[in-house]
Amino acid sequence: MNTLLTSVSVADEEGYPILDASTRDLVGYAPKRTTADLEVLIKTATTAQPGWAVLGHAERSRLMNLVADEIDKHAVELGEIITAEQGKTGGQGEAHGAAMWLRSAANTILDTQVLADDGTTRSELHYAPLGVVASIGPWNFPVMITVWHIAPALRMGNTVVVKPSENTPLSVLALLGIFQRFLPDGVVNGISGDREVGAALAAHPGIAKIVFTGSTPTGRRIVESSANNLARLTLELGGNDAGIVLPGTDIESIADKLFWGAFMNSGQVCAALKRVYVHESLYEETVAALAERAKNAPMGSGHDKSNRLGPVQNPSQFDIVSRLVDDARDSGARIAAGGEPAPELGPLFYRATIVADIEDGAALVDEEQFGPVLPVIKYSDVDDAVRRANGNDQGLGASVWGPDVEEALRIAERMEAGTVWINQHGGVDPSIPFGGTKASGYGLEFGVEGLKAMAATKVIRR
Distance between CA atoms of 411 and 400, rounded to whole angstroms? 7
- CA 415 to chain CA centroid, Å, is 21
Phi, psi of 215 (to 5 degrees): -75, 155
Count of positions (residues) in the chain: 462
> Active-site residue 445, yes or no?
no
**Choice among 77, 166, 236, 416 that is catalytic:** 236
The full DSSP string for 329-372 is HHTT-EEEE--SB-TTT-TT-B--EEEES--BTBHHHHS---SS
Distance between CA atoms of 78 and 168, rounded to whole angstroms? 12
Distance between CA atoms of 391 and 400, rounded to whole angstroms? 16
272, 261 contact by CB (below 8 A): yes
Smallest CA-to-CA distance from 102 within 132, 81, 71 is with 71
277, 377 contact by CB (below 8 A): yes
Phi, psi of 237 (to 5 degrees): -105, -160
334, 356 contact by CB (below 8 A): yes
Strands (E), 151-231: 159-163, 188-190, 209-213
End-to-end CA distance of the chain: 60
Using CB atoms within 10 A of its CB, is residue 389 exposed (0-12), middle (13-18) or buried (19+)?
buried
Distance between CA atoms of 143 and 132, rounded to whole angstroms? 20
435, 454 contact by CB (below 8 A): no
**Choice among 80, 94, 166, 270 that is catalytic:** 270
Q: b/e map of 270-283 (b: 16 or more CB within 10 Å)?
A: bbbbbbbbbbeebb
Smallest CA-to-CA distance from 282 within 258, 255, 247, 311 is with 247
The catalytic residues are 236, 270
